[in-house]
Amino acid sequence: MIKVILHGCNGKMGKVITEVSHSFPNINIIAGVDKSSNYKSSYPIFQNMIDINISGDVVLDFSRPEALDSLLEYSLKNKTPLVLCTTGYSKEDIARINETSKVIPIFRSANMSIGINIVNSILKTISNKLYKDFDIEIIEKHHNQKVDAPSGTALLLANTIKESIEVEREFSYGRVGISKRDEKEIGIHAVRGGTIVGEHDVIFAGLGENIEIKHSALSREVFAVGSLRACEFMKTKTPGLYNMDDMLQLS
């Protein structure tokens, strides 16, 4: 049995993860951490990481980037693998994550959906073959409560494309002004509205033909399943930085 400490347990994703965990026979959420205490649960809930008095096998975080320091501190002190599903980290945050992964196992992904990571793997294969003849645009759509834009997933896909292309490309966000599209651009556009769970379109627009790769998350359960599978994957890992490619063994 894998004992999980769920950070952000009373948030939208935390509640979904708790519910989905019941279908994972080898997962047991033994404690939660959340500043909000207006939600009752089958496991004890602490307001801060330092208050936890229960030993777990993995810490799973689905909250906000501001919590990173307390998560790293706890995992370092207790030598507990850490699964980070939060987006919006700064360059400095990512540097700290990378450095800490030399001491403890850390899993970080901008999107916990298995499908979106398959899309990302496809982009690694095709982007360098298409960029000479196709303009590349990314459109992402999310609910009106999402705080970061563009989404971490859009940046994941954009960076994969950029790193796969043999010549320099630049990101263009939203595109404002009166000018023609520069051939060096990778356009990234964010839509916020209603209760959209998450949609990502990657468009390769060429002369007389378009190629579109689209992923739609129909419910938050897809992210919960991915995060719990990551907990299973990380229980016995040695120090290092891991991601969905490692878990799914994508090249």
Query: Which one is catalytic: 7, 141, 142, 200?
Result: 142
Among candidate residues 51, 97, 101, 107, the one with its CA nearest the CA of residue 248: 107
Query: Which one is catalytic: 3, 15, 146, 235?
Result: 146
Q: Which residue has 């000479």 as its token pair?
A: 132
110 is in an annotated binding site: yes
Residues in CB range of 68: below 8 A, 6 or more apart: 84, 86, 89, 93, 96, 97
| Residue type at position 135 | D
Query: Can you read off the two tokens belonging to residue 173?
Result: 């966000």
87 is in an annotated binding site: yes
Is residue 76 within 8 Å of residue 104, measured between CB atoms? yes
Active site residue 146: yes
206 is in an annotated binding site: no
143 is in an annotated binding site: yes
85 is in an annotated binding site: yes
Is residue 224 within 8 Å of residue 197, measured between CB atoms? no
Active site residue 180: no
100 is in an annotated binding site: no
195 is in an annotated binding site: no
User: Residues comprising the binding site?
Assistant: 8-13, 85-87, 109-112, 143, 152-153
User: Residues comprising the binding site for NAD(+)?
Assistant: 8-13, 85-87, 109-112
User: Residues comprising the binding site for (S)-2,3,4,5-tetrahydrodipicolinate?
Assistant: 143, 152-153
Known catalytic residues are 142, 146
